[in-house]
């Protein structure tokens, strides 16, 4: 029987986390292991989580004193397991029924060229798309129930083929927060695989607004830092790198995030040696095939260079955090 590790990162939200674990345990048709990594919950909450997890022999709980960040926590959870596939589920999400993981496995087994699939993410208890989790270029209302190839998956719910995950050494945990899915996706694609949005697999997302991080302060700093770092890491052509950086800074300045934009850029510069050193790592170098695949997924495919530049300037004029909503 196919083995699957379901990984969940926990940071307080005790009742939601318990519900996510319980939902994972209902999945049938696969040999299942649930791995929970706590990222520094309050003592009382953590003690209750320990007691809950002890009830289930196929649930492992790893407790971190310090928050390792999203990519660090996901790596830790994934490397605790050995399943054929790795599933990540947000701790405020649940599967809509007990066959969802089996559905995901069927897709991955049928298409051996898939490295990862992104799940359909609905607002919990409804049939409405969770727009806060939709980061694809397609319109969510038109494409939410249709499969398509893409350049990335969404973190709230996805499945990764372990053999490829191990091949590229998982996530880059230096990102800490933001763009970790984009970074891993790029390595998977560069390794000769595809990524598919798969609405056949559905989760409900509670979208716990009280714990979401706003697009000011540290979040914007991470965005600026990580965007620059990834452009260098994946050897973006110099002219495009300069344009991307200038537009990101312009967007932050327009939103009044001048200090955070500047700090983020300086932090990105400090990561230059690490980015350059990563050029020799598995999955970092692009290939003609990976470039062609990425181009085939672009909403601007076939557009002139000038049209693509105009589109980037248009995106730069949208305030941080609003772009996704306005594109849906």
pLDDT (tens digit per residue) in 59-113: 999 999 999 999 999 999 999 999 999 999 999 999 999 999 999 999 999 999 9
CATH of 3-211, one of 3.90.440.10, 3.40.190.10, 3.10.20.600, 3.90.550.10: 3.90.550.10
CB 284, CB 185: distance < 8 Å: no
CB within 8 Å of 154: residues ≥ 6 apart: 118, 119, 121, 133, 134, 135, 181
> What pLDDT score does 322 carry?
55
H helices of 147-217, where? Answer: 162-167, 180-190
Rg (CA), the chain: 19
CB 313, CB 305: distance < 8 Å: no
Q: Is the pLDDT of residue 326 over 80?
A: no
- Write down the domain spans for the chain: 3-211, 218-323
Q: What is the pTM of this model?
A: 0.92
67: tokens are 């928050």
pLDDT (tens digit per residue) in 180-229: 999 999 999 999 999 999 999 999 999 755 445 566 788 999 999 999 99
Residue 60 φ/ψ, nearest 5 degrees: -110, 135
pLDDT (tens digit per residue) in 265-313: 999 999 999 999 999 999 999 999 999 999 999 876 655 656 666 666 6
Using the structure block, give the residue that is written with the tokens 């407790």.
63
> What pLDDT score does 198 carry?
99
Give the DSSP letter string of 234-286.
TT--HHHHHHHHHHHHHHHHHTT-HHHHHHHHHHHHHTHHHHHHGGGSTTTS-
């Amino acid at each position: 029987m196919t083995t699957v590790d379901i990984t969940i990162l926990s940071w307080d939200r005790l009742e939601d986390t318990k519900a996510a674990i319980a939902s994972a345990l209902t999945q049938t048709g696969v040999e299942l292991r649930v791995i929970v990594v706590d990222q520094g919950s309050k003592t009382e909450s953590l003690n209750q989580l320990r007691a809950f997890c002890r009830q289930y022999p196929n649930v492992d709980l790893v407790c971190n004193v310090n928050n390792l960040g999203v990519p660090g926590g996901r790596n830790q959870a994934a490397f605790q397991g050995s399943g054929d596939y790795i599933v990540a589920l947000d701790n405020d999400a649940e599967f809509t029924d007990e066959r969802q993981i089996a559905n995901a496995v069927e897709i991955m087994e049928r298409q051996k060229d898939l490295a990862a699939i992104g799940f359909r993410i609905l607002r919990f208890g409804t049939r409405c798309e969770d727009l806060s989790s939709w980061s694809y270029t397609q319109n969510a209302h038109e494409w939410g129930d249709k499969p398509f190839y893409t350049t990335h998956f969404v973190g709230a719910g996805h499945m990764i083929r372990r053999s490829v995950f191990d091949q590229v050494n998982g996530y880059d945990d230096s990102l800490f927060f933001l763009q970790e899915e984009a970074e891993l996706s790029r390595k998977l694609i560069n390794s000769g695989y595809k990524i598919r949005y798969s609405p056949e697999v559905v989760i409900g997302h509670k979208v716990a607004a009280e714990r979401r991080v706003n697009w000011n302060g540290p979040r914007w700093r991470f965005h600026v830092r990580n965007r620059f770092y990834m452009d260098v890491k994946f050897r973006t052509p110099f002219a495009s790198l300069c344009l991307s950086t200038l537009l990101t800074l312009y967007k932050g300045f327009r939103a009044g995030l001048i200090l955070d934009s500047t700090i983020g850029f300086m932090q990105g510069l400090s990561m230059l040696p690490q980015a350059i050193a990563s050029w020799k790592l598995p999955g970092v170098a692009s290939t003609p095939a990976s470039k062609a695949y990425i181009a085939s997924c672009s909403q601007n495919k076939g557009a002139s260079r000038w049209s693509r530049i105009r589109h980037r300037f248009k995106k730069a004029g949208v305030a941080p955090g609003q772009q996704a909503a306005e594109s849906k």
